[in-house]
Each structure stands twice: as structure tokens, then as C-alpha cells.
């Protein structure tokens, strides 16, 4: 009986154990399910957070590219004083951004201390992705600190980028032209502007005038070996039947291919001759190197200053070496066969307040080369005379004539000129002609005339060689080593 009873209780114990194990398994799987759910939910949230941060970083990087474009194209004028750079940045960014859809009616602002510029939120898409920007003044405006905050779905997401920018000079595109003038250009007679053999494109011209609708007149057998470019969108050029541009008459079907209009992006430089002035006697002093009369004694000069109002005429076969500084007003004339090695420059007393001596009278300030002239650059000065021609002087290369505020005329052959010539008016007449290693630049909207049998041959130096004393506007270029991403 006892054995029978034991045999009956055994199945009941097994069922209980099975039930308990089932409950344990259910509890275990429920816990695992809850853990898996929590893990998945957490992973999804982490993924969303990472997406949010990455999208915010992409917004910040888009903002940095946006600012890089605008800072690279600010066009800060060459005559801007260093302590006015930051205000120029504010003014030019405001002009570029205010009133445009990017800002949605908001405006660029600057703080009371004029050391922080704020650009309000700029939308990138319809979902609320955007960025905002602050620019801080560094090194008195020579550098900018740019901070960009990225925003995703309309909420600031804590990701930002920063990058410093430094002032950099604009490329001197004007030196891509053989002759460039702010005025109309007229060629009359057997006149030519041409590149050296095999380089016809160097003999190109640019007229930036907008004061007349006829920026170029060509009469007789005049020719331009390169192309002709104009600031006007629809100029009315006057081309004689025997005149040619790029080898084509106006009646040729190829003529229009060499005429370019609407060229308004070429920047004319500001001349500052202060680097040349220390090599001549100081203003107000006297001595054999200071010209004070209309008939200077002798035919050989080194490093001279021509005093205002002296109006000198240098004799035939005069030799001049080094730097010539001309005060205003003055009417300076070089007789036949002048031999010049160095640079002739005009004083620029206020290149920022009075750029290119804009208030000078061209009738009261003239330089005339009456006959032939031999004109060599600073690099041809003797190296064995460091007292008169120190290395610092000989390094001022590329500028043969810097005469802002003066009218310059050539009336005879000038052979080869080893540098660029810049003046507020430049005219060639008679048999004037020769090779210019550089460009001829007319700085003022005053007539530029080439007549007679003038043949100007251009040996281009392109935009990589800036003549000494010639300055262009600026933009801001990034300093790659300063780039950083951070949480803000």
C-alpha cells in the first residue's frame, strides 16, 4: 500500500517542477524582452542624437563655406587704414547680405565696441536646418575669428565650427592687360598696341570708363593685337575700316569674339610711393640732390628730389640713377636722349584720404619726355655702390613710373622700359614707342590718346609680379590650421 502511494505522488511532483520552470522561463524571457526593448529604444535615441549632432555639424560646415565665399570677395579698398578694416568688413557684409532672402528680413549687426559682428540665423532648408555666425576682431582687424553654430530642426544642437581668417591682397587682374585706363582710349594714325612676337594676347586693352558710351576710338591703320574689354555692358565703339583688333577688322565675322563687355570686376590700384622717399633728401632740405630751379646744372644726377614749383627741364643726354621724387605742383620735362636707371615717382602724401592724388590738377602737374629715352629698372643699378644704391632700394622693382595726379606724355622713342608705368593721364604722340615690361595704366577717367606712329609693345609680367608701390584691395583668406569643431 505504501509503495502504491509513493508511486501515485511522484507524477504530481514532476508537474509542479515543470510549472515552476515554465514560470521561471516566462519571467526570464519577459526580462530579456524588456531589456531588448530598452536596448533598442536607447539605440534609436542615441542614433537620433547622433543624427541631430551630425546634421547640426553639417549645417555649421555649410555656414563656414558660406562665410568663406563672402570673405573671399569683400573687396576691401586698398586705401583702407588698418584700424578701419573691421568696420569695412561690417559695412561690406551688410551690403552683401541685408535685404536678401537669406536673412529673412533680419540684418547684420555690430556691437557697441565694434569688435563683434553678428549674422543672424540663415535657413538652409524648409525643415529648420540653419546656422548663425559671429565674427570677432583680431589683431586690429588684420585677422577675424569666425564662429558658426549649426541648428537642426529649428533647435540649436550644440555643434559649432571656428576658423580664423587673415587679410590677403587681391589678385592684380589689371596686369593681364597691356594697356588699362579708367578713361576712353583713342588710337589715331599708324598706332599699335601689341604683344611681343608669339604673344599677341599681351597687347590687350581695357577701358573702364562709364562717362562716355564710346570707350574706344580707332582711326587710320591703328591696331590692337589682343582683345578689347570694356566696363560698359553695351558700348558703342568707333573702329575705322583699316583698324584691327586681334587681327580682324570690324566687318569680320570673328571680330565680335574679341570684344568683351561688362568687365566691372577689374580693380585699379592705389599708388603709395612712401617706400621710395627715404632714398632722396628729406622734404624741405637743400643741397645738390634737391632740384629747385627750372634749369638744373649738370647732366648727371643720383637720387634727387624735385621741389614743388621748380618746373625743371633736364638737358639733352641727361643721366639719372636711383630714385626721383617729384613734389606737387610741378611741370617736369626731360630733353632728348635721357638715360634713366631707377624709378620716377610722385609724392603720395595721403594715399588713404586722397588716393592717387585725386585732387591734383593735371594741368599743373605734368611730366614730359620730349625725345628718346633709355629707361632701365632698379635691378640694373650698380651693385658695387651700396652707399648710393643700397639693396633695399634695388629691391623696389617693377615700377618705372608712378605718377598719380600727373599727366605724362611721351613724344619720342623710349626703347625698352623695364617696368610698369602708372599715371593719372598717359599720352603717346609723334614717334613715341618701345617695349614695356609690364603694363601701362591710366588711373583717372581722363582721355588716353595714342597718335602718330606710336608702337607700344607689351611684354607681360601677368598677375604674379606686383610692382613696388602699387597696392590693391583686400579680402580675407582662411588659416587652415585654426579650424576646430566643438560643442557650444
Res 42 pLDDT > 60: no
**Tell me, what's the pLDDT at 109?**
96
Res 270 pLDDT > 80: yes
Residue ranges per structural domain of the chain: 67-171+474-487, 173-471
For residue 222, give the 3-state DSSP assignment: coil
Encode pLDDT of 354-366 as tens digits: 999 999 999 999 9
Res 254 pLDDT > 90: yes
**Tell me, what's the pLDDT at 232?**
96
4: pLDDT confidence band, cut at 50, 70 and 90? very low
**Cα–Cα distance between 323 and 342 in angstroms, integer?**
6
**Tell me, what's the pLDDT at 474?**
86
Residue 160 backbone phi and psi in degrees, to 5: -150, 160
**Cα–Cα distance between 118 and 296 in angstroms, integer?**
61
- CB contact at 8 A, 184 and 448: yes
331: pLDDT confidence band, cut at 50, 70 and 90? very high
Encode pLDDT of 418-469 as tens digits: 889 999 999 999 888 788 988 999 999 998 999 988 889 998 777 666 788 9
Encode pLDDT of 70-115 as tens digits: 999 888 888 787 788 999 999 999 999 999 988 889 999 999 999 9
**Tell me, what's the pLDDT at 40?**
54
DSSP string, 10-58: HHHHHHHHHHHHHHHHHHHHHHHHHHHHHHHHHHHHHHHHHHHHHHHHH
**Cα–Cα distance between 170 and 115 in angstroms, integer?**
24
**Tell me, what's the pLDDT at 34?**
66
pTM score of the predicted model: 0.75
Which three cell numbers, joined as nine digits, stand for 227?
582683345
Res 153 pLDDT > 80: no
User: Of 24-33, 207-216, 266-275, where does mean pLDDT reach its minimum?
Assistant: 24-33
| Mean of all residue pLDDT scores within the chain | 88
28-55: average pLDDT: 61
Encode pLDDT of 389-428 as tens digits: 999 999 999 899 999 999 999 987 777 788 899 999 999 9
Encode pLDDT of 180-237 as tens digits: 999 999 999 999 999 999 999 999 999 999 999 999 999 999 999 999 999 999 999 9
In percent, how much of the chain has pLDDT > 90?
A: 59
**419/12: higher pLDDT:** 419
45: pLDDT confidence band, cut at 50, 70 and 90? low
Nearest to 369 by CA among 308, 422, 414, 312: 414
State whether the Cα torsion 239-245-248-254 is positive or negative.
Answer: negative
Amino acid at each position: 500500500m505504501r509503495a502504491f502511494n509513493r508511486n501515485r505522488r511522484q507524477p504530481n511532483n514532476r508537474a509542479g517542477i515543470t510549472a515552476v520552470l515554465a514560470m521561471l522561463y516566462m519571467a526570464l524571457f519577459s526580462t530579456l524582452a524588456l531589456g531588448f526593448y530598452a536596448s533598442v529604444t536607447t539605440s534609436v535615441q542615441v542614433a537620433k542624437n547622433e543624427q541631430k549632432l551630425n546634421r547640426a555639424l553639417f549645417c555649421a560646415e555649410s555656414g563656414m563655406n558660406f562665410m568663406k565665399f563672402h570673405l573671399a570677395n569683400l573687396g576691401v579698398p586698398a586705401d583702407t587704414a588698418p584700424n578701419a578694416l573691421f568696420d569695412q568688413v561690417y559695412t561690406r557684409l551688410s551690403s552683401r547680405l541685408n535685404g536678401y532672402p537669406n536673412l529673412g528680413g533680419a540684418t547684420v549687426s555690430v556691437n557697441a565696441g565694434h569688435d563683434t559682428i553678428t549674422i543672424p540665423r540663415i535657413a538652409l532648408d524648409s525643415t529648420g536646418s540653419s546656422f548663425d555666425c559671429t565674427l570677432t576682431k583680431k589683431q586690429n582687424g588684420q585677422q577675424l575669428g569666425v564662429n558658426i553654430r549649426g541648428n537642426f530642426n529649428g533647435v540649436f544642437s550644440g555643434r559649432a565650427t571656428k576658423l580664423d581668417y587673415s587679410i590677403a591682397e587681391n589678385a592684380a587682374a589689371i596686369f593681364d592687360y597691356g594697356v588699362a585706363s579708367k578713361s576712353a582710349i583713342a588710337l589715331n594714325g599708324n598706332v599699335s598696341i601689341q604683344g611681343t612676337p608669339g604673344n599677341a594676347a599681351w597687347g590687350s586693352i581695357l577701358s573702364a570708363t562709364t562717362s562716355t558710351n564710346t570707350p574706344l576710338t580707332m582711326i587710320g591703320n591703328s591696331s590692337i593685337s589682343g582683345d578689347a574689354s570694356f566696363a560698359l555692358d553695351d558700348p558703342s565703339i568707333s573702329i575705322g575700316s583699316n583698324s584691327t583688333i586681334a587681327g580682324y577688322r570690324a566687318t569680320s565675322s570673328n571680330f565680335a569674339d574679341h570684344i568683351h563687355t561688362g568687365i566691372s570686376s577689374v580693380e585699379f590700384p592705389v599708388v603709395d610711393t612712401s617706400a621710395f622717399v627715404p632714398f632722396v633728401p628729406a622734404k624741405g632740405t637743400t643741397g645738390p640732390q634737391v632740384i629747385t630751379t627750372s634749369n638744373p646744372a649738370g647732366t648727371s644726377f643720383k637720387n634727387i628730389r624735385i621741389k614743388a614749383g621748380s618746373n625743371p627741364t633736364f638737358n639733352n643726354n641727361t643721366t639719372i640713377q636711383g630714385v626721383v621724387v617729384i613734389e606737387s605742383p610741378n611741370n617736369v620735362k626731360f630733353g632728348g636722349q635721357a638715360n634713366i636707371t631707377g624709378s620716377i615717382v610722385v609724392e603720395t602724401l595721403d594715399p588713404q584720404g586722397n588716393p592717387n592724388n585725386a585732387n591734383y590738377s593735371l594741368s599743373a602737374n605734368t611730366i614730359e619726355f620730349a625725345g628718346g629715352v633709355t629707361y632701365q629698372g632698379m635691378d640694373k643699378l650698380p651693385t658695387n655702390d651700396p652707399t648710393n644704391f643700397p639693396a633695399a632700394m634695388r629691391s623696389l622693382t617693377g615700377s618705372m613710373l608712378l605718377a598719380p595726379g600727373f599727366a605724362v606724355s611721351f613724344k619720342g622713342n623710349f626703347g625698352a622700359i623695364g617696368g610698369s608705368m602708372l599715371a593719372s593721364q598717359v599720352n603717346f604722340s609723334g614717334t613715341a614707342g618701345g617695349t614695356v615690361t609690364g603694363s601701362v595704366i591710366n588711373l583717372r577717367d581722363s582721355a588716353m590718346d595714342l597718335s602718330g606712329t606710336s608702337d607700344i609693345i607689351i611684354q607681360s609680367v601677368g598677375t604674379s609680379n606686383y610692382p613696388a608701390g602699387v597696392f590693391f584691395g583686400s579680402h580675407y583668406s582662411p588659416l587652415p590650421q585654426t579650424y576646430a569643431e566643438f560643442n557650444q
